[in-house]
Amino acid sequence: MSEVVSLKQSRSGTKLRIGFLRLTDSAPAIIAQEFGYFAEEGVDADLFEEPSWANIADKLAYGFLDAAVIVPPLAFAIELGLRGVSQKLVIPCNLSMGGNTVTLSRDLALRVRELANKGGLSTAHALAACLKDRDQPLPLGVVHAYSTHNLLLRYWLATAGLEAGREVRLSVVPPARAVEALQSGSISGFCAGAPWGEIAQRAGAGLNVATSDDIWRAAPEKAFAVRASWAEENPESLKGAVRALVRAAQFCDAPENASYTGSLLSRQKYLGVDSHAILSSLPGGAIAPDNQSCFWRGAATFPWRSHALWFLHQMTRWDLTGDIDAEALAARVYRSDLYRAAVAPLGLSVPLADCKSEGAHSTSWRLEAAPNPIVMGPDNFCDGAVFEASPAPASF
């Protein structure tokens, strides 16, 4: 069977160059390209596999990429010029929820798990107990300073009274290097996106002790960021791109498609790793899932302003931003208006509000949406906190 889907293409606008990293949750962009969803929606898209978040950021900043599958805190860092030249970005849709693991070296993970089981502790508290008599801080890796991983890991550690610079020492280890760093002993654990935790487990180097879900259920993970100038110049293509990604997200979330998506992602030009390691992080890809990404269910593609505000709040908490007007920044970057306009022709239900109470639901709940309500999963934090974002400002 030929993999090339031939289509009548009525392409408008300029090329859309999208950067991505070798991660499970790059799936929607890869599926949208491989299945011709971008082309069907009139978008002339090109995908670029980038080796690092720094490349994604620099290429967006200097206009070598128009868009990227990105961790939202990095999008804010680029927008604010916190790590180089600044570039205005917009996020018209979210791409995934969950999918990260806290992976510790095998020996340490076994001790943590044993202590957690025996004492009925959370793994974070068990880790704290393991570190009590240690005189050196435990070296842990995160994938980038401005990553969801850095924020989630710090949040999780803090619930057990652990802090970076005190009980643990955080350093930046790119996801594709995390497993070898764990094997060489230069770090004792890491927080990274799938499939790298699973790859560490398969290599016998480490074990997962927590996942995104254990820290914040339904935690937003990757988003689709576009240079604001590109978005302004190509409004129709932008809407088409969002539609293509939303359609791809639905495909990726369907359990029956897991093995197909897994083998597509495993190709050399995409992730270039064992398809089985990827499969376990895809919805429906494992019988007893340890860690899975979510692409569509529970309004996963909607760019919640309350998510943006949570990220900015945490970035400020850990002193990663200067003085910022979080409300204005969140409203400028997270563009639910663009999402609504883009998906309207698909007839899908869209949330009515731009913010929700983050962490207020420990069971399934019903979200007000039009035309029909959306069934949402739990979204509670590991410490039971509830994050309330204030209502949206009236204008951008």
Beginning with the edge strand found earlier in the chain, give each strand of the sheet holding 89-94 in spatial order: 45-49, 16-20, 67-70, 223-227, 89-94
Both tokens of residue 29? Answer: 């962009």
Q: CB 146 → other proteins: shortest distance, Å?
A: 8
Q: Any contact of residue 356 with other proteins (CB under 8 A)?
A: no
Q: CB 186 → other proteins: shortest distance, Å?
A: 6
Q: CB 273 → other proteins: shortest distance, Å?
A: 14
Q: Among 48, 52, 158, 318, which residue sits at the site for other proteins (rule: CB under 8 A)? A: 52
Q: Among 5, 14, 64, 370, which residue sits at the site for other proteins (rule: CB under 8 A)? A: 64
φ and ψ at residue 139, rounded to 5 degrees: -80, 120
Q: What is Dmax (Cα atoms) for the chain? A: 66
Q: Any contact of residue 185 with other proteins (CB under 8 A)?
A: no
93 contacts 303 by C-beta, under 8 angstroms: yes
**Separation between Cα atoms, residue 383 and residue 358, nearest integer Å:** 12
Q: Among 45, 70, 143, 258, which residue sits at the site for other proteins (rule: CB under 8 A)? A: 143
Q: Among 12, 62, 370, 386, which residue sits at the site for other proteins (rule: CB under 8 A)? A: 62
Q: Any contact of residue 191 with other proteins (CB under 8 A)?
A: no
Q: Any contact of residue 180 with other proteins (CB under 8 A)?
A: yes
Q: Any contact of residue 51 with other proteins (CB under 8 A)?
A: yes
Nearer to other proteins, 153 or 331 (CB): 153
Q: CB 51 → other proteins: shortest distance, Å?
A: 4
Q: State the number of binding residues for other proteins (CB under 8 A).
A: 29
The count of C-alpha atoms lying within 13 angstroms of the C-alpha of 361, restricted to the half-sphere facing its C-beta, is: 17
57: nearest Cα among 23, 22, 81: 81
- Sign of the Cα torsion 5, 11, 17, 19 reads negative
Q: Among 144, 217, 243, 361, which residue sits at the site for other proteins (rule: CB under 8 A)? A: 144
60 contacts 53 by C-beta, under 8 angstroms: no
CB atoms within 10 A of CB 357: 12
The count of C-alpha atoms lying within 13 angstroms of the C-alpha of 131, restricted to the half-sphere facing its C-beta, is: 23
Q: CB 322 → other proteins: shortest distance, Å?
A: 14
Task: Write down the residue that tokens 């596999």 correspond to.
Answer: 49
**Separation between Cα atoms, residue 191 and residue 206, nearest integer Å:** 12
Nearer to other proteins, 49 or 290 (CB): 49
Q: Among 59, 239, 332, 340, which residue sits at the site for other proteins (rule: CB under 8 A)? A: 59
Query: How do strand 223-227 and strand 365-367 relate by DSSP bridges?
Result: unpaired
Nearer to other proteins, 248 or 271 (CB): 271
Q: Among 35, 53, 76, 216, which residue sits at the site for other proteins (rule: CB under 8 A)? A: 53
Q: CB 4 → other proteins: shortest distance, Å?
A: 8
Instruction: Find all residues with CB under 8 Å of 110, minimum gap 6, and list them.
Output: 207
| CA-CA-CA-CA dihedral for 173, 176, 180, 181, to nearest 10 | 0
> Which 70-129 positions form the footprint of other proteins (CB under 8 A)?
83-85
Q: CB 145 → other proteins: shortest distance, Å?
A: 5
Nearer to other proteins, 50 or 354 (CB): 50
**Helix or strand run (H / E) with residue 338:** helix 336-343
- Sign of the Cα torsion 206, 208, 209, 210 reads positive
Nearer to other proteins, 186 or 364 (CB): 186
Q: CB 5 → other proteins: shortest distance, Å?
A: 14
Q: CB 174 → other proteins: shortest distance, Å?
A: 4
Nearer to other proteins, 21 or 355 (CB): 21
Binding mask 153-172 for other proteins (x = CB under 8 A): -----------------xxx
Q: What separation, in Å, do the N-terminal and C-terminal C-alpha atoms of the chain show?
A: 49
The residues pairing with 207 across neighbouring beta strands, listed in sequence order, are 104
> Which 321-350 positions form the footprint of other proteins (CB under 8 A)?
none
Query: How do strand 45-49 and strand 206-211 relate by DSSP bridges?
Result: unpaired
The site for other proteins (CB under 8 A) is made up of 2, 51-55, 58-59, 62-64, 83-85, 143-145, 170-177, 180-181, 184, 186
